[in-house]
Structure 1
Amino acid sequence: MDTVAELTIVRHGQSVANVAFAEAHAQGVAAHGLTGRDADIPLSPLGWRQATRLGRWLATQPADQRPDHVVCSPYRRARQTWNRVADTVAALGVTPARADLDERLVDRLMGDLELLTPLMIAERFPAEAARLAADGLYAYRPPGGETFDDVTARVRAALVDLHRHHAGRRVWVVAHDAVVVAVRHVLEDLSFTELDAILATTPIANTSLTRYAHTRGRLDLVGFAVVPPSP
């Protein structure tokens, strides 16, 4: 089957939710002050700087190592990440790749638990907190939300279309850590238990790259959660 020549999944830059959740956890409090939808969460000031650094790094890469095409999650933080990368690349005299949006590359849908910290879930939905503990992170389905099998199903369909429409090309996907996990599950046939063990030692950092190259008739992992050096 024809496939893309290279596939790189980029996690978005740090978001204001990444900051708020980390601060709430460090302080041992439930509330984080966020309102609105997860899809509308923007980058933090550090996230903008991370995306700028990624753009500067990308502009230094040889033409045959830059993406031919980009597919982006429609979530605000992912779009902002690629837009800043593209603007930075263009300002340095390099033409950025064209980008499309794909709804199948959004973050895991948490339904009624969207943007809730673990302590908020325990306080507001104690039965769901107990079910999450019993089912485990990957098998648990929040009310109105997704299991990781659901995430994998839509990511798998998106990958099929990438191969069909961009065979032989270098493609970047700008999305979320859940999408990175789903891609590794699909392309490497890793179980969620195996992936959980990997993530315990190698978290998927903001603006990190997970790269696959077409070798031996298939896509092989050549780098996982690698943050490019500052140029």
Structure 2
Amino acid sequence: MRNLEALIATRHGESTGNIAHETARQTPGPKIEQVDIADRDADIPLSELGRAQAAAFGRRLAALPAAERPTVAVCSPYLRALDTAEIALAALADPPELVVDERLRDREQGVLHGLTEHGIRVRHPEEADRRERIGKFYYRPPGGESWADVILRLRAAYNDIDLDFPGERVLVVAHDAVVVLTRYIAERLTEPQVMEIESHPVANCSFSRWIRREGRLRPAEYNDTAHLAEPTAAPARTAAPS
């Protein structure tokens, strides 16, 4: 990304899918195999907490100096990301146009979609073993994507963003995998480095930013949640990827 002035990335606010995953993880007794999510992944909405988090993120953007606020917004087409972007941008006096790019969607889980860790081992033990053998970065579930697959489409998306919006400050509203792998791309990380970063969850509506210095984008903030501690916003909960 040679042309952008700055890049801000955030994960969507807490979704009903996040709540379902967390409930399944904490449920005592016999292990739950399938997370109870009625919606198609692209249609999973924000929770009430998620909407409050999006509003708090918007206030964080509005509090930036005028010369640091985003001039372009690009978003995943998934409902939880779209609603987060629209709520957050409403806090700006002169919000940029919202551009939707399907390459910023969440990672495709294929046959593992909606399964808990226990469910994967019960229903697809061979896949659990293969994932452990290959490693999370390159493992591709049947019908799904590896982290390397997501990187390929993100590189293409960021190349187009860089060419289409030279000199702009771009806001990306997407998913936890997108935020982590944006860091991988922007900071030219290795597989071990990004897997270590990924072991610490990206918080819903956290603030991550890269600013151009010495000819390239340099990290400024990552996974910052200070704005979510405001009295007007409910505190963030650590949520499972969705």
| TM-score normalised by length of structure 1 | 0.91
Residues 38, 115 of structure 1: 8 Å contact kept: no
1:17 is matched with 17
SS of equivalent residue, structure 2 residue 143: coil
Alignment of structure 1 residues 36-115 onto 2, 5 Å: 36-87=39-90, 89=91, 94-115=93-114
Separation in 2, partners of 1:205, 1:134: 28
Separation in 2, partners of 1:24, 1:193: 29
| Residues 28-80 of structure 1: CA deviation (Å, up to 9, x unaligned) | 43233112321111111111110011122322322212100100000111001
2:216 is matched with 218
Which residues of structure 2 form unaligned runs of 5+? 233-242
Residues 2, 162 of structure 2: 8 Å contact kept: yes
Which residues of structure 1 form unaligned runs of 5+? none
Larger helix proportion of the pair: 1
| Residues 112-153 of structure 1: CA deviation (Å, up to 9, x unaligned) | 222222122222222212212222222110101111111001
Following TM superposition, the consecutive aligned residue runs of length 4 or more in structure 1 with deviations greater than 4 angstroms are none
Cα deviation for residue 203 of structure 1 reads 2.7
Separation in 1, partners of 2:134, 2:14: 29
SS of equivalent residue, structure 1 residue 107: coil
2:239 is matched with none
Residues 2, 168 of structure 1: 8 Å contact kept: no
Letter of the 1:225 partner, please give it.
N
1:191 is matched with 190
Alignment of structure 1 residues 132-211 onto 2, 5 Å: 132-200=131-199, 202-211=200-209
SS of equivalent residue, structure 1 residue 223: strand
Aligned pairs, number: 226
Residues 7, 170 of structure 2: 8 Å contact kept: yes
Cα RMSD after superposing both structures: 1.7
Separation in 1, partners of 2:225, 2:104: 21
Letter of the 2:162 partner, please give it.
H
Letter of the 2:219 partner, please give it.
L
Aligned-residue sequence identity (percent) comes to 41
2:238 is matched with none
